[in-house]
């Protein structure tokens, strides 16, 4: 079955961009709104929002991807991702000055404002998925907020950042490296798939389990590819500083196992992700966007 | 009607402390759990949690205050408060080294860890109010998460911090100062009362409106008293650096209107808060904890 990913992605990207423009209030007090918009708009591949929408479609949700719950969940997870980048770039963390080809938020607006931008984006993520009125049924709101909170917090992204921080200069085993990335980047990618699934009804435990296996494999593959790109790309292609992992003496898959074995691992994880979809029992046609996004993650060059 | 506030507070404080000990996992990765516990446990007056429980009781919720929803909401709002202190104390914000008589989190654990502690505490707040299982009905979870997100974010606390940041060295009008505090500290105190009310069922619009007026007046009174204490207390009594508002050239009620008029304003707001409870139509006995907490806010010395 052929599938034109660009034709699937483009209208959904437009939807997400428009929704983010609408939902990040430019008039938030004391220029906070402008700084929040700077941190989020016109940047990034929007992989997490696309995964939410693709997962909603996989379980039989609105195939136009226009369901309010999925759109809100898609934007919410992007806000969490964006806030983590703002805080991660700060001088006390990675001290990075370039992000998506632009000065980072603290360079542009100062450190105090960058701190508040991240804090406010995290709160806004939870605001988006708990709308007043009838847009999203309250039980779906509760499920989305529960998934997002766990993926963003100490059991997920923030926990992974703490492990990352504590690992600089240490030599990790592959199991330790995997655990760090499972938390730091994997949790949010897995959460994207899970949020999409609960937006579109009540998936069976079998389906939820298969989609979670897909999300876990994809999340790890994403990081392995990230480590590979940090070595083989230049800053212009990446839109951020290349080679910074090595410069910061950070543990990576490439440093641990070498370039070729890391590339093999990425392919294996890709296959695991696709196998999980085969095991899900979901109709092939419904899972085509998820499959195509997995291909994109593996073959991206930035 | 006499009411022994200490007898009401003590068992509830114990409940909150035990719940926070249980819910902030000491084994969170890379010492993040220990740092989160340092930021939250054994400190603070727990005013916001007590307001949640008192509001739940006011609308007729479990008079023992042991309802799972109210306990979870109480701890959640304390985590938001605690995270805001951690970030606010950082060098790029207030650069404070003493909090509740202890070294601040960034002094004790480093700036990067302090940043992550705040981020993880915000996520954990939303995790606590969206438990899996039957503890809290999903529509209550959704209502709590919606209230908390709005109070914490750009329309609330984070927005107020941004206004505060932009106001240093400026001479504000009383209206501007009031707006700043309505966001910065008022939103979370108001939210405490509103969360308590939705924990205990579905309050009528009249009751919700009256409790919101109570929460707004109390929130503003709290800040006016804070400004007064910053001038008339010493650091040992406050448990934080006294006189720092004036030193930082921050606008305060005392600086704007003088000490005696600020004290009069605090009394007026106290009366407004009590009047709102009178207008609520709620039985007097049920509102006694809220009334006693309002008295405590006005007459505290730290």
HEC readout, A19-33: HHHHHCCCCCHHHHH
Residues B142-159 have a mean pLDDT of 97
Q: Is the pLDDT of residue B62 over 70?
A: no
Shortest Cα distance, chain B CAs vs residue A132, angstroms: 8
Number of domains observed in the structure of chain A: 1
pLDDT bin (cut points 50, 70, 90) of residue A64 is very low
In a domain, B302, yes or no: no
Residues B176-200 have a mean pLDDT of 95
Chain B residues in contact with A161 by the CB 8 A cut-off are: 116, 119
As to burial, measured by CB atoms within 10 angstroms (0-12 exposed, 13-18 middle, 19+ buried), residue A42 is exposed
Q: What was the pLDDT predicted at B133?
A: 84
In a domain, B68, yes or no: yes
Q: What was the pLDDT predicted at A241?
A: 66
**Burial readout B115-145 (b: 16 or more C-beta within 10 A, e: otherwise):** bbbbbbbbbbbbbbbbbeeeebebebbbbbb
Q: What was the pLDDT predicted at B250?
A: 75
Residues B43-66 have a mean pLDDT of 83
Chain A residues in contact with B115 by the CB 8 A cut-off are: 87, 90, 92-93, 115
Do the beta carbons of residue B11 and residue B62 sit within 8 Å?
no
In a domain, B279, yes or no: yes
Task: Look up the CATH number of the domain holding residue B91.
Answer: 1.10.600.10
Do the beta carbons of residue A219 and residue A97 sit within 8 Å?
no
Total length of chain A: 302
Residues B275-284 have a mean pLDDT of 96
Do the beta carbons of residue B117 and residue B32 sit within 8 Å?
yes
CB contact under 8 A, A30 and B165: yes
pLDDT digits (tens, 9 = 90+) for B96-121: 999 988 999 999 999 999 999 999 99
Q: Using a CB–CB cutoff of 8 Å, tell me whether A93 touches chain B.
A: yes
Q: B94, B127, B148: which to substitute to probe chain A, counting the most A Cβ within 10 Å? A: B127
> What number is the ipTM of this complex?
0.94
Percent of chain A having pLDDT more than 90? 78
C-alpha to C-alpha distance for B274 and B269, rounded to whole angstroms: 9
Average pLDDT, chain A: 92
Q: Which residues pair with B102 in a beta bridge?
A: B99
C-alpha to C-alpha distance for B211 and A142, rounded to whole angstroms: 25
C-alpha to C-alpha distance for B118 and B239, rounded to whole angstroms: 21
Q: What was the pLDDT predicted at B66?
A: 44
Q: Using a CB–CB cutoff of 8 Å, tell me whether A152 touches chain B.
A: yes
Q: Spell out the long-range contacts of A243-248 with Cβ–Cβ below 8 A and sequence spacing 24 or more.
A: A244/A94, A244/A96, A248/A94, A248/A168
Which among B7, B14, B12, B82 has a CA at the least distance from the CA of B54? B12
pLDDT digits (tens, 9 = 90+) for B223-249: 999 999 988 887 666 666 666 666 667
Q: Which residues pair with A103 in a beta bridge?
A: A98
Q: What was the pLDDT predicted at B242?
A: 65
Q: Is the pLDDT of residue A238 over 70?
A: no
Query: Quick one: how far is CA A225 from the chain centroid?
Result: 14
Q: What was the pLDDT predicted at A242?
A: 65
pLDDT bin (cut points 50, 70, 90) of residue A178 is very high
pLDDT digits (tens, 9 = 90+) for A89-148: 999 999 999 998 899 999 999 999 999 999 999 999 999 999 998 789 999 999 999 999
Least confident of A209-223, B49-63, B177-191, B217-231: B49-63
In a domain, B52, yes or no: yes
Which one of B120, B126, B166 has the shortest CB-CB distance to A30? B166
Query: For residue A115, what are the domain limits?
Result: 5-299
Query: Quick one: how far is CA B169 from the chain centroid?
Result: 26
In a domain, B192, yes or no: yes
For chain A positions 19-78, those within 8 Å of chain B (CB to CB) are 25, 28-33, 36
C-alpha to C-alpha distance for A148 and A156, rounded to whole angstroms: 10
Q: Using a CB–CB cutoff of 8 Å, tell me whether A103 touches chain B.
A: no
Q: Is the pLDDT of residue B302 over 80?
A: no
């Amino acid at each position: 079955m052929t599938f034109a990913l660009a034709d699937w992605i483009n209208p959904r990207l437009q939807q997400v961009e428009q929704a983010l423009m609408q939902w990040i209030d430019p008039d938030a007090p004391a220029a906070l709104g402008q700084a929040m918009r700077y941190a989020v708009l016109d940047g990034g591949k929007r992989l997490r929002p696309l995964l939410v929408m693709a997962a909603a479609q996989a379980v039989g949700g609105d195939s136009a991807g226009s369901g309010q719950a999925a759109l809100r969940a898609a934007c919410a997870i992007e806000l969490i991702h964006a806030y983590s980048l703002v805080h991660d770039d700060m001088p006390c963390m990675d001290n990075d000055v370039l992000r998506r080809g632009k000065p980072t938020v603290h360079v542009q607006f100062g450190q105090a404002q960058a701190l508040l931008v991240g804090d406010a984006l995290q709160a806004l993520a939870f605001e988006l998925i708990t709308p007043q009125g009838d847009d999203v049924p309250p039980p779906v709101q509760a499920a989305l907020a529960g998934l997002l909170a766990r993926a963003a917090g100490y059991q997920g992204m923030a926990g992974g950042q703490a492990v990352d921080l504590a690992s600089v200069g240490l030599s990790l085993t592959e199991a330790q490296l995997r655990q760090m990335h499972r938390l730091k980047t994997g949790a949010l990618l897995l959460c994207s798939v899970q949020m999409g699934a609960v937006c579109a009804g009540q998936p069976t435990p079998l389906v939820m389990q298969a989609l979670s296996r897909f999300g876990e494999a994809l999340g790890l593959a994403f990081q392995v590819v990230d480590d590979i790109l940090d070595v083989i790309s230049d800053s212009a292609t990446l839109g951020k500083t290349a080679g910074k992992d090595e410069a910061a003496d950070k543990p990576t898959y490439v440093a641990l196992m070498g370039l070729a074995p890391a590339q093999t691992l990425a392919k294996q994880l890709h296959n695991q992700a696709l196998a999980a979809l085969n095991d899900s029992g979901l109709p092939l046609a419904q899972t085509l966007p998820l499959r195509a996004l997995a291909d994109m993650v593996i073959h991206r060059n930035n």
